[in-house]
């Protein structure tokens, strides 16, 4: 677990409000300053303004919790990433593949399995905030290429 000097300001987003609040509470118990931002709804057109509270300090890192099996969810997740300019970590139950590439292409730093333990997540958030860890370049390139190929094939 991180030490007191490793505490970071975290923004949390999830398509499920209860999950976002549970993760917020767990990270706050670890001493992090955590803010939850809203998730775009199906009715909204384009990215929604998803800024943390104006009273909150600028976050150091974001954590996005969602499945990437539906392209609508991938699009919403990409909107969240674009709306809050921080290095992002995604936790997902979706298998590694083009959807991971889509979210990496949107600017996410690291995609992890939802089975990641809180202790690991705590340390990874600090490392990502400090730009000490990210998806390895070869893996990022492979996944983004798979996404772009799929996207190009389906755009015709």
Q: What is the pLDDT of residue 137?
A: 95
Give the mean pLDDT of 52-81. 86
Tell me the whole-structure pTM to 2 decimals: 0.85
Q: Tell me the C-alpha distance between 67 and 16, whole Å.
A: 10
Give me the domain span that covers residue 111. 4-155
pLDDT at residue 5 above 60? no
Q: What is the pLDDT of residue 135?
A: 93
User: What CATH number does the domain containing 82 carry?
Assistant: 3.40.50.2300
Using H for helix, E for strand and C for coil, what is the string for the chain? CCCHHHCCEEEEEECCHHHHHHHHHHHHHCCCEEEECCCCCCCCCCCCCCCCCCCCCCCCEEEEECCCCCHHHHHHHHHHHHHCCCCEEEEECCCCCHHHHHHHHCCCCEEEECCCCHHHHHHHHHHHHCCCCCCCHHHHHHHHHHHHHHHHHHHC
Looking at the structure of the chain, the number of domains it has is 1
């Amino acid at each position: 677990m991180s030490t007191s000097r490793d505490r970071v300001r975290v923004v949390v987003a999830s398509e499920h409000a209860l999950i976002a609040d549970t993760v917020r509470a767990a990270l706050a118990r670890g001493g992090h300053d955590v803010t939850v931002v809203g998730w775009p709804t199906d009715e909204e057109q384009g990215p929604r303004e998803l800024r943390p509270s104006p009273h909150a300090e600028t976050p150091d890192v974001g954590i996005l919790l969602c499945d990437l099996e539906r392209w609508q969810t991938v699009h919403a997740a990409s909107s969240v990433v674009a709306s809050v300019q921080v290095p992002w970590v995604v936790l997902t139950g979706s298998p590694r593949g083009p959807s991971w590439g889509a979210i990496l292409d949107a600017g996410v730093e690291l995609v992890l399995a939802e089975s990641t333990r809180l202790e690991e997540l705590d340390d990874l958030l600090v490392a990502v905030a400090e730009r000490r860890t990210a998806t390895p370049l070869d893996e990022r390139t492979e996944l983004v290429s798979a996404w772009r190929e799929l996207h190009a094939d389906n755009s015709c």
